Structure 1
Amino acid sequence: MCGIIGVVATSPVNQLLYDGLMVLQHRGQDAAGIATAEGNTFHMHKGPGLVRDVFRTRNMRALPGNWGIGHCRYPTAGSAWNYAEAQPFYVNSPFGIMLAHNGNLTNAPMLKEQMFVQDRRHVNTNSDSEVLLNVLAHELAAAAPGIRLDAAAVFKAVEGVHRRVKGAYAVVAMIAGVGLVAFRDPYGIRPLVLGRNESEGGTEWMVASESVAMDTQGFEVVGDVAPGEAVFIDLERNLSRAPCSLQVTPAPCIFEYVYLARPDSVLDGISVYETRLNMGEKLAAKVRQTIDPAEIDVVIPIPDSSRPSAMQLAEALGIPYREGFVKNRYIGRTFIMPGQATRKKSVRQKLNTVAQEFKGKRVMLVDDSIVRGTTSREIVEMARAAGALKVYFASASPPVRFPNVYGIDMPTRGELIATGRTDAEIAQVIGADALVYQDLEAMKESVTQCNPAITRFDASCFDGIYVTGDIDAAYLDGVEQNRGKHDSKKTSEDDSNESQQVELTVVATASDL
Structure 2
Amino acid sequence: MSEQIKHECGIAFIRLRKPLSYYQEKYGTVLYGLNKLYLLMEKQHNRGQDGAGIATIKLNMKPGSRYISRYRSKAKNAVSDIFEYVQNKFVPIQENSPELMKDAEWLKNNVSFVGEVLLGHLRYGTHGKNSIENCHPFLRQNNWMTRNLVLAGNFNMTNVDELLEQLYELGQHPKEKADTVTVLEKIGHFLDDENQQLFDSFKQEGITNVEITEKISTHLNIQKILKRSAKDWDGGYAISGIVGNGDAFVMRDPAGIRPAFYYYDDEIVIAASERPAIQTAFNIQFNQIKEIKPGHALIIKKDGHVSEEMYREPDEKRACSFERIYFSRGSDADIYKERKRLGQLLCSQILEKINYDIKNTVFSFIPNTAEVSFYGLVEGLNHHITEQLRKQLNANKESLTEDLITELLSVRPRIEKLAIKDVKLRTFITQDADRQDMVAHVYDTTYGIINNYEDTLVAVDDSIVRGTTLKQSIIKIIDRLHPKKIIIVSSAPQIRYPDCYGIDMSRMGEFVAFEAAIQLLKERGMESLIEDVYQKCKASLSLPKTEMINHVKEIYEPFTDEEISAQITKIITPAGTNAEVEVIYQTLDNLHIACPDHSGDWYFSGNYPTPGGNKVVNKAFINWKEGNNQRAY
- TM-score scaled by length of structure 2: 0.68
Give the match for residue 443 of structure 1. 591
Q: Secondary structure at the match of 2:584?
A: strand
Query: 1:167-246 counterparts in 2 under 5 A?
Result: 167-196=235-264, 202-220=266-284, 221-246=288-313
Match of 2:444, SS?
strand
User: Does the aligned pair in 1 maintain the 2:190–2:228 contact within 8 Å?
Assistant: yes
Question: Which residue pairs with 2:474 in the alignment?
Answer: 379
Query: Structure 1: how far apart are the matches of 2:484 and 2:39?
Result: 45
Give, in whole Å, the separation in 1 of the partners of 2:433 and 2:84: 34
Which of 353, 359, 366 is residue 445 of structure 2 equivalent to?
Answer: 353
Equivalent position amino acid for 2:174 in 1: V
Q: Find out whether 1:411 has 2:506 as its counterpart.
A: yes
For residues 47 and 141 of structure 2, the distance between their equivalents in structure 1, rounded to whole angstroms, comes to: 28
Q: What do the CA deviations read for 1:284-322 (whole angstroms, capped 9, x no partner)?
A: 122234442316522111232211111221232242332
CA contact (8 A) 1:85 1:127 kept: no
**Partner of 1:495 in structure 2?**
none
Residue 326 of structure 1 corresponds to which residue in structure 2? 420
Which residue matches 1:6? 13
Partner of 1:433: 581
Tell me the amino acid that sits aligned with residue 620 of structure 2: L
Q: Which amino acid aligns with 2:323?
A: E
CA gap 1:171/1:359 in 2 versus in 1, 3 angstroms: farther
Query: How far apart in 1 are the matches of 2:436 and 2:250?
Result: 38
CA distance in 1, matches of 2:456, 2:192: 65
2:335 maps to amino acid: V
- Deviation for aligned residue 1:376: 2.3
1:309 aligns to 2:359 (yes or no): no
Distance change in 2, residues 1:331/1:88 (3 Å): farther
Are the equivalent residues in 2 in contact too, given 1:32–1:72 (CA < 8 A)? yes
Aligned to 1:489: none
- Tell me the distance in 1 between the aligned counterparts of 2:434 and 2:306: 44
Deviations 1:44-91 (A, max 9, x none): 111214334532523343533222111111122433x33321111111
Query: Paired residue for 2:620?
Result: 476
CA–CA distance in structure 2, aligned partners of residues 272 and 294 of structure 1 = 31
In the alignment, the residues of structure 2 paired with residue 155 and residue 225 of structure 1 have an alpha-carbon distance, to the nearest angstrom, of 14
Question: In the alignment, what sits opposite 2:561?
Answer: none
Secondary structure of 1:376's match?
helix
Aligned residue in 2 for 1:503: none
| Aligned pairs, number | 462
Q: How far has the Cα of 1:468 moved from its partner?
A: 0.4
Q: Retained in 2: the 8 A contact 1:43–1:63? A: yes
**Which residue of 1 is the match for residue 107 of structure 2?**
none
**1:419 partner SS:** helix
Distance in 1 between the 2:245 and 2:623 partners? Answer: 39
Query: Using the alignment, how far apart are the partners of 1:168 and 1:161 within structure 2?
Result: 15
Shift of the 348–440 alpha-carbon distance from structure 1 to 2, 3 Å rule, reads: same
Question: What does residue 362 of structure 1 align with?
Answer: 456
1:149 & 1:177 partners in 2: Cα distance? Answer: 6
Displacement of 1:416 after TM fit?
A: 0.7
The unaligned stretches of length 5 or more in structure 2 are: 1-7, 19-29, 62-66, 90-111, 200-212, 383-412, 426-431, 517-563, 574-579
Are the structure 2 counterparts of residues 239 and 359 from structure 1 closer, same or farther at C-alpha, using a change threshold of 3 Å?
farther
Hey, what does 1:253 align to over in structure 2? 320
Closer, same or farther: CA 153–357 of 1 in aligned 2, 3 Å: farther
What is the Cα deviation at residue 139 of structure 1? 2.3
| 1:359 Cα deviation from its structure 2 partner | 6.3
- CA distance in 1 between counterparts of 2:155 and 2:463 reads 21
Q: Which residue of 2 aligns with 1:497?
A: none
Q: Secondary structure at the match of 1:305?
A: helix
% identical aligned pairs: 25
Equivalent residue for 2:163, pick from 111, 118, 124:
111
For residues 466-488 of structure 1, the C-alpha deviation after alignment (integer angstroms, 9 at most, x for no partner) is 110222255435887999469xx
Q: Match for residue 340 of structure 2?
A: 277
| Residues 398 and 203 of structure 1: CA distance in aligned 2, closer, same or farther (over 3 Å) | same
1:29 offset after TM fit, Å? 1.2
Does 1:57 find its partner at 2:104? Answer: no
Matching residue's letter, 2:226: V
Shift of 1:246: 2.1
Higher relative contact order (CA 8 A, sep 6+): 1
CA distance in 2, matches of 1:151, 1:483: 50
Q: TM-score when scaled to structure 1?
A: 0.82
| Closer/same/farther in 2, CA of residues 230 and 219 from structure 1, 3 Å limit | farther
CA-to-aligned-CA distance 1:80-110 (integer Å, 9 cap, x gap)? x333211111112562111111021111122
Name the structure 1 match of 2:553. Answer: none
Higher helix share: 2
| Structure 1: runs of 5+ lacking an equivalent | 333-339, 449-453, 487-513
Mark the CA change 1:104 to 1:139 in structure 2 (over 3 Å): closer, same or farther: same
Tell whether the 8 Å contact from 1:230 to 1:244 is kept in structure 2 after alignment: yes
The equivalent of 1:28 in structure 2 is: 48
Report if aligned partners of 1:233, 1:239 keep a CA contact under 8 Å in 2.
Answer: yes
Runs ≥4 in structure 1, deviation > 4 angstroms? 149-152, 340-350, 477-483
Q: Determine the structure 2 residue equivalent to 1:264.
A: 331
Deviation of residue 389 (structure 1)? 3.9
Superposed, 1:382-401 pairs within 5 Å as 382-401=477-496
1:35–1:425: structure 2 CA closer, same or farther, 3 Å change rule? Answer: same
In 2 relative to 1, CA 67–310 (structure 1 residues): closer, same or farther, beyond 3 Å?
Answer: same
Offset at 1:261? 0.6
Q: CA deviation at 1:259?
A: 0.6
Cα deviation per residue 1:371-404 (whole Å; 9 max; x = unaligned)? 1112222212221234444321000011101111
User: Which one-letter code corresponds to 1:167 in the other structure?
Assistant: G
Higher alpha-carbon Rg: 2
Please say which of residues 52-61 and 85-94 is displaced more in the overlay.
52-61
| Higher strand residue share | 1
Helix, strand or coil: the match of 2:126? Answer: coil
In the TM superposition, 1:124-143 aligns within 5 A as 124-143=175-194
Q: Which residue of structure 2 aligns with residue 451 of structure 1?
A: none
C-alpha distance in 2 between matches for 1:343 and 1:370? 21
SS at match of 2:372: helix
Cα distance change, pair 364–323 in 1 and its aligned pair in 2 (3 A):
same
Q: Which amino acid aligns with 1:84?
A: E
Q: Distance in 1 between matches of 2:220 and 2:315?
A: 20
Q: Which amino acid counterpart does residue 88 of structure 1 have in structure 2?
A: P
Query: Structure 1 residue aligned with 2:153, among 94, 101, 106?
Result: 101
In 2: Cα distance, 1:443 partner to 1:344 partner: 34
